[in-house]
Structure 1
Amino acid sequence: MLNGRLFYSRGFSYIGVLVTLVIAAIGMQGAAVMWQQQSQRSNETLLLEAGEAYRLAIGRYYEATPQPVKQYPSRLEDLIEDKRFPVSKRHLRKLYADPFFVKQGMALIIRDGRIVGVHSQSLLAPIRSSGYQESQSGFHGAKHYREWQFVYEPNTLADLELAWVNR
């Protein structure tokens, strides 16, 4: 009988360890999902900040064109060092990476061979569904981050700078 009792107690201990492992695995899975969502929210915020910085820099470059016919930049590097003036201007401090594709830069939106805006290359669905700035009104209902296009439209620089300051 003594051997029988030991046998049964070992079985219960084994089941107890299995139940504990299952509960721990479920808890870790929930934590992983929460971490993934938090990471995506963080990247989403970085994307909004970087995209707006690019839109503002493209607007400053465009509006500062010394010729009568305004021009968009032909390269992103022109936003860092604008050599169209005797003393070069800086419209952007640095080139920002796409937070969802860190090793790549933002994808460019080109019109007539010039950069008018940028966007992410991510096919993830956005978490944020409201609280966009006026210049981001087209972001409502976007199915992917790549639909968030940060394009500078002429004569909107003052509104963008005001929104940037008030964020």
Structure 2
Amino acid sequence: MRCGRQQTTGFVLIGMFMLVMLSGLVMAQASMRWQTQVLRERELELIKVGLAYRDAIGRYYNQTPGVVKTFPPTVEALVNDTRFPTPRRHLRKAYLDPITQREGWGIVTAPSGGVMGIYSLSDKQPFKIKGYHGALQHLNDKRYYGEWYFVYLPQPVAANTGGV
């Protein structure tokens, strides 16, 4: 009689071990999915922040007093533009890089000087590599976030073609 009781205890122990192992696998899978979702959200946030910087650089450039337009000398000039009697804010605040979660961006310098654009300093691979259209099509086929440039390109002024 004693032998059967030990055998039942062994099966219960093996069953408990299998249950712990199975729950560990489920938790690992859930953790991976959660981490993937967080990184996808950060990727979307990088696009949103990058476009905000690009648009702010464009506003700074286009609102330059006078005929000769200039790019901001620093990223901080987008938050506090002191070229006017009342300082202007082209950005509400300086944003963190959503991917690295740190301050600081890579800077694209204009040929004439100043900040023409920004990019992430991350070397991580993006989730979405294809399928961008319109203003974001330059993000297609990039291997890492550091290749995602958000640059303001001034539109050329149309020449006066009206002749006499």
TM-score by length of 1: 0.86
Percent identical? 36
Aligned residue in 2 for 1:95? 94
Change in CA separation of 1:94 and 1:131 when aligned onto 2, cut-off 3 Å: farther
Contact 2:130 2:141 (8 Å CA) reproduced: no
Pairing of 1:66-105 with structure 2 (within 5 A): 66-105=65-104
* SS of residue matched to 2:54: helix
Q: CA deviation at 1:129?
A: 3.5
Gaps spanning 5+ residues in structure 1: where?
157-167
CA contact under 8 A between 1:96 and 1:106: conserved in structure 2?
A: no
Is contact 1:106–1:121 with CA below 8 Å preserved after alignment?
Answer: yes
Which one has a bigger Cα radius of gyration? 2
Aligned residues: 155
Pick which of 120-129 and 42-51 moved more.
120-129
TM-score normalised by length of structure 2:
0.88
Task: Check conservation: 2:54, 2:117, Cα contact below 8 A.
Answer: yes
Aligned to 2:118: 118
Q: Which sections of structure 2, spanning at least 5 residues, go unmatched?
A: 157-164
Aligned partner of residue 45 in structure 1, secondary structure: helix
Question: Where is the helix percentage greater, Structure 1 or Structure 2?
Answer: 1
Tell me how far apart the structure 2 counterparts of residues 101 and 115 of structure 1 sit (CA, whole Å): 21
Higher relative contact order (CA 8 A, sep 6+): 1
